[in-house]
Amino acid sequence: MNLGLKDKKIVVTGGASGIGKAIALDLCREGAFPIIIDRDESALLRLRKEIGDARIKTFVCDLSDCLETKQVISQINKIFGDEIYGLVNNAGVNDGVSLLDGISAFQASLQRNLIHYFQMTSGLMESIKKNQGSILNISSKVAETGQGGTSGYAAAKGAINALTREWALELAQYGVDVNCIVPAEVITPQYEKWIKNESDSRKVRNILRKINLGKRLTRPEEVADFAIFLLSQRNTHTTGQLVFVDGGYTHLDDSTSV
């Protein structure tokens, strides 16, 4: 199926690994031109080698720093002008900032997980409006279910869900669709590291038990495949939606399962 993404310039934050990388690779397969932002320079170099320098543009940036983010937005606008078609707000980390950690840690968590979503969207909005493009936010089931011990991340992801609806209303008049994918347990490098370091195997088994479809973790590619459709020219009348790509984790109650 032709998704109409050939040569479309789409910015992906946190695109050097995990869900972001899977989206970047899918964009390349569709003939799009991903513009990848990530703080991990070595991971970006590996991605450029994997894809080929001519197929992508990369920027090293710590998006938790508002000044760095402002500078990278300025660079993108200077290089690509009004050619930006889409934006995937993906970068973030479940940093475990809890009620016990104080206001400074909470604010820092919002910087890591929320503020740059607003900053990137507002900074690239004029080009996306001109091209009647797409904005895709990546959230988390934590916004819906809670987790315990991660107030900063939960607050950020809840705000991202709300902003998806807000921006969809604000930008609909320009032909821009804004949607959000809400994953649950995705087998990213960060998640694999947590499993490796988790001493209580029961926690992992309990998570798998709650994933009704297949009793397995979601693959980054499964999130990416849905992301590509939402960004594509085939998505012509869907906006303001929170799409749960989670194997049924969030909304299908299987509490009687053993």
Q: How far apart are alpha carbons 17 and 58 in whole angstroms? A: 13
Question: Out of 153, 174, 191, 249, which one is annotated catalytic?
Answer: 153
Cα-trace Rg, the chain:
18
- d(CA 73, CA 123) in angstroms, rounded, equals 6
* Distance of alpha carbon 217 from alpha carbon 211, whole angstroms: 7
Instruction: Give Cβ neighbours of residue 143 (< 8 Å, ≥ 6 apart).
Output: 154, 157, 158, 160, 161, 182
Cβ-contact 116, 90 below 8 angstroms? no
Give the integer Cα–Cα distance in Å for 203 and 35.
37
C-alpha 206, offset from chain centre: 25
Q: Give CA–CA dist 7/12, Å, rounded.
A: 15
Q: Assess whether 191 carries a catalytic annotation.
A: no
CA distance 236 to 177: 8
Contact 124, 118 (CB under 8 A): no
Looking at residue 151, the DSSP 8-state letter turns out to be: H
Using alpha carbons, select from 223, 160, 236 the residue that is nearest to residue 25: 223
What the block records as the tokens of 213 is: 């479809």
* Residue 134, helix vs strand vs coil: strand
The residues annotated with a catalytic role in the active site are 153
